[in-house]
A = this chain, B = another copy of it.
Amino acid sequence: MAAENKDDCESYLHIYSQMRRIRAFEDNANQLYLSGKMQGLTHMSSGQEAAEVGICEALESTDYITSTHRGHGHCVAKGAHFREMFCELLGKVEGYCRGKGGSMHIADQDNGNLGANAIVGGSAGIATGAALTSKLLGKKDVAVCFFGDGALGQGLLYEVMNMASLWSLPAIYVCENNLYGEYTHVSEMAAGDLCARATAFGIEAHELDGQDVLAVKSLADDLVARARAGEGPFFVLLNTYRYHGHHVGDINRTYYRSKEEESDWKDNRDPIALFGTWLRKQKIATEKELEAIDEQVQADAKAAVEYALEASYPDLSEVDMHVYAANA
């Protein structure tokens, strides 16, 4: 793919910057945890940036996504701000969910991110429902359901894909196959062909290198347009890898995956490095320009972390607020 015009260039740099932002966010989240400043567990998506950004760059802010326990990347990719995100991770009132959701329930309601979900596969219904709303109300919004290879074990997914197919809903099911669900390899969790699990329901399925952000973006552009035109649903299988452990505490992991496998992905298939190289080769950006982006992103992240660390916790009276929505 060649960089044709200025708009394209800007878009490429935005993609790069978004991937960088995810990586920076996760690095900081990891540090916050390791330094004891963040409580609870959190799941980092470093390594999966191309999947997340490639898909979300094809979406409008009015389009919907649902996310997973590994949800920071989706959140950044859909347009969220660092500050509200770190506040949420630290349980501060300025977080996207006033600190009540935390890492596993982070959402960005204004940008169509309906939230991370701590139930594997648990948001498949929600995304499909958002697609139903779009159809019922005659809107053009598309709903993307992100989930991992592990979620292929949940029957709910097949129930809702069936309905999405029967009703031609503008839903796109995006499976980020990072090869593991916790400490178990996908081959021990999923029999048969993964794409066939969607085609069985009459859903068009695509398998792709999830480390190639432009390939993902280009497929997503196409499918999103077709979904808007009523040709959905679709299924996309993106082959990718998570660099960190299952969660921040998963340090010793050689019993389920080898160090060689990890380095191979990091050294040879890193989505950011690959795309950076491409940008330089295409003369869209120099190494220096990319470094400038990196530095800006790091600085943004650092500032947001500092802000979040100083920010206030919710008032204790909030503990029993929001259990019920106040009726209009």
Which residues of A pack against B, CB within 8 Å? 152-159, 162, 165-166, 188-193, 196-197, 199-203
A203: chain B residues at CB < 8 Å are 191-192
Known A199-B196, A201-B197; contact A165-B191, beta-carbon cutoff 8 A: yes
Asked if A200 contacts B197 (CB within 8 A), the reply is yes
> In the complex, which of the residues A159, A190, A200, A203 has the most CB atoms of chain B within 10 Å of its own CB atom?
A200
Bound: A171/B43 CA distance, A:
37
A191: chain B residues at CB < 8 Å are 162, 165-166, 201-203
A193: chain B residues at CB < 8 Å are 200, 202
Bound: A152/B154 CA distance, A:
15
Bound: A200/B201 CA distance, A:
10
Pick the residue among B157, B196, B199 that contacts A155 (CB under 8 A).
B157
Asked if A155 contacts B156 (CB within 8 A), the reply is yes
Bound: A200/B165 CA distance, A:
16
CB proximity of A19 to chain B, nearest CB, Å: 32
Bound: A162/B200 CA distance, A:
14
Bound: A279/B214 CA distance, A:
66
Q: Dominant SS at the A interface?
A: helix
Asked if B200 contacts A196 (CB within 8 A), the reply is yes
CB proximity of A192 to chain B, nearest CB, Å: 3
Asked if A159 contacts B165 (CB within 8 A), the reply is no
A202: chain B residues at CB < 8 Å are 191-193
A189: chain B residues at CB < 8 Å are 166
Bound: A138/B192 CA distance, A:
25
A159: chain B residues at CB < 8 Å are 153-155
Pick the residue among B157, B166, B192 that contacts A165 (CB under 8 A).
B192
CB proximity of A272 to chain B, nearest CB, Å: 34
23 contacts between A and B (CB under 8 A): A153-B159, A153-B162, A154-B155, A154-B159, A155-B155, A155-B158, A155-B159, A158-B197, A162-B190, A162-B191, A165-B192, A166-B188, A166-B189, A166-B190, A166-B191, A192-B199, A192-B200, A192-B201, A193-B200, A196-B196, A196-B200, A197-B200, A197-B201
Bound: A159/B192 CA distance, A:
13
Bound: A131/B214 CA distance, A:
46
Since A158-B158, A158-B197, A191-B203 are in contact, a sample of 5 more A-B pairs with Cβ atoms closer than 8 Å, ordered by chain A residue number, is: A152-B162, A155-B158, A165-B191, A166-B188, A192-B203
A197: chain B residues at CB < 8 Å are 158, 200-201
Residue of B nearest to A162 (CB): B191
CB proximity of A166 to chain B, nearest CB, Å: 5
Residue of B nearest to A187 (CB): B166
Bound: A197/B200 CA distance, A:
5
Residue of B nearest to A155 (CB): B155
